[in-house]
Structure 1
């Protein structure tokens, strides 16, 4: 279970930057949020009390003991929060299980701002501007088994 104060601190620091928000949310939602724990070297205390930020370079330098799926998700998160390249996108995506692929796709849609897009809707013959749903929304947390 992630530390909710750290999670809120990460979200506060990222707020307003879609790529940062997406990277943080991916860390929060993937693998039960365990990669937002303060024990990881990429979770850094911010300048403001209660705020935290993600050090993308530290993610890339410290994932050697993790599984392939974990490394792939972390690579996407690092690219989003650090504005860096994501090498071998096809291999990254094809190596994800369905749950994490869904999270990564939702992160990409959020980083692209799809949750803020608008379009025209027919309202009894009159067009009006409406907010469109995200291309892919953040999935609900998986049900607990057992």
Structure 2
């Protein structure tokens, strides 16, 4: 089953006004491409979006690879604002690790940072540095399959 833009947009709509941490967890699942697809049993309509039933997702992901389970646990921890188990990091492959690092940077708000720059003339300027870790540039809809 191909991941559709509509399913992704519906999840993003629901989590758009949540904290950076919760947004990061949802975005992590979207960009990974395993858990967010039309008809996924852990996606439920709410308003004009889709909510992730994290308990069901965690239970159902038990048959997935250790890396997929670890990424799911990290995402669920971000969404539910529960603890993250650092031992899950060792189970991630390089692609998954990049996604998790971007999610952690997003959850910490690094995309909102402002720095004070002292200019040679003595003035002060506020700058907005880039996020510490960008999300991978691959579009989760293009070519991703379930």
Q: Would you say the 8 A contact 1:72–1:96 is kept in 2?
A: yes
List runs of 5+ in structure 1 lacking aligned partners.
Answer: none
Q: Would you say the 8 A contact 1:57–1:82 is kept in 2?
A: no
**1:1-146 equivalences in 2 (<5 Å):** 1-16=2-17, 17-30=19-32, 33-46=33-46, 48-49=47-48, 51-87=49-85, 89=86, 91-123=87-119, 125=121, 126-141=123-138
Does 1 or 2 have the higher relative contact order (CA < 8 Å, sep 6+)? 2
List runs of 5+ in structure 2 lacking aligned partners.
Answer: none
Alpha-carbon distance in structure 2 between the residues aligned to 1:77 and 1:42: 14
Aligned residues: CA RMSD: 2.0
Which 4+ runs in 1 deviate beyond 4 A?
A: none
TM-score by length of 2: 0.85
Q: Would you say the 8 A contact 2:3–2:38 is kept in 1?
A: no
Alpha-carbon distance in structure 1 between the residues aligned to 2:11 and 2:134: 20
TM-score by length of 1: 0.85
Q: Would you say the 8 A contact 1:55–1:82 is kept in 2?
A: no
